[in-house]
Amino acid sequence: MYLELEAIFNREGAAKDFDYSFPLADELIASDVHVSGSVFKKTGIVTLKAEAAYLLSAECAKCGAPIRRTETVPVEHVLIGQAETEEEEDDYDESYIVLDDLRLDLDELVGEDIFLAMPYRFLCKEDCKGLCPQCGADLNAGPCACKPATDPRWDALKDLF
C-alpha cells in the first residue's frame, strides 16, 4: 500500500489513518499481516505510528514443538521530505525515513520492521527444557530415565572414594 503524504507534509495538524492487510512472503508468517495506525504532523514533525499483527508458525529451537501464535510489532518512524542540499542530508541519521516524492511504500517498511523484530530462534515457552541429549525425551513432560552424564576426567576421583 502506498501512502500519498503531500497533504500531511503541507498542513500542520493533518492526519491520515489506515487499516489494511497484505501478504508477506515468508515461511514463518502463516497469515496476512494486518496493519493499523496513522501518519500525522504535529509541531512540524511527520510521524508514522502503527501496529502490525500476524500469525507466526515455527518450531521450538529446543524441543521441536510446533509454535503458532499471534505476534504484534510496533512500527514507529519519523518521516522527512527529500533534503534540499547534500549538507542537510548529512544531518539526518538512520532513524529518519527520507521520502523522495512524499510517497511511502508502507508494505515494504512494515515488512522490514517485522523481520528486524524477529528473534534469531523461537521457543515454545520461556523456560523450555528441550530434549534429553541421550534418549531424546521431551524434558518439558518430565524427567527421563537416563543417568546424568559424567565427565570422564573425574573418574580417577571415584576410585579414591
What Cα–Cα distance (Å) separates residue 105 from each residue in 4, 59, 60, 141?
9, 31, 33, 46
- Do residues 27 and 74 share a domain? yes
Give yes or no for residue 93 having a pLDDT over 90: no
pLDDT for res 101: 86
- Do residues 74 and 49 share a domain? yes
Q: Where are the alpha helices (DSSP H) in 30-69?
A: none
- Do residues 86 and 150 share a domain? no
Residues 99-133 pLDDT 10s: 888 889 999 999 999 999 999 999 999 999 999 98
- Do residues 14 and 67 share a domain? yes
CB 79 within 8 A of CB 5: yes
pLDDT for res 85: 36
- Do residues 151 and 74 share a domain? no
pLDDT band at residue 94 using 50, 70 and 90 as cut-offs: low
What's the CA angle centered on 154, arms 152 and 158, to 5 degrees?
110
pLDDT for res 146: 87
- Do residues 97 and 158 share a domain? no
SS3 call for 159: helix
- Do residues 118 and 156 share a domain? no
- Do residues 141 and 73 share a domain? no
| Count: domains in the chain | 2
pLDDT band at residue 83 using 50, 70 and 90 as cut-offs: low
Reference 9, options 100, 91, 138, 92; nearest CA is 100
Among 2-6, 24-28, 37-41, the range of highest mean pLDDT: 37-41
**Does the predicted TM-score (pTM) go above 0.85?**
no
- Do residues 108 and 135 share a domain? no
Q: What integer best gives the mean pLDDT of the chain?
A: 88
Give yes or no for residue 84 having a pLDDT over 50: no
The domain of 22 spans 2-128
pLDDT for res 145: 87
- Do residues 56 and 41 share a domain? yes
- Do residues 119 and 142 share a domain? no
- Do residues 80 and 93 share a domain? yes
Q: What percentage of the chain reaches a pLDDT higher than 90?
A: 58
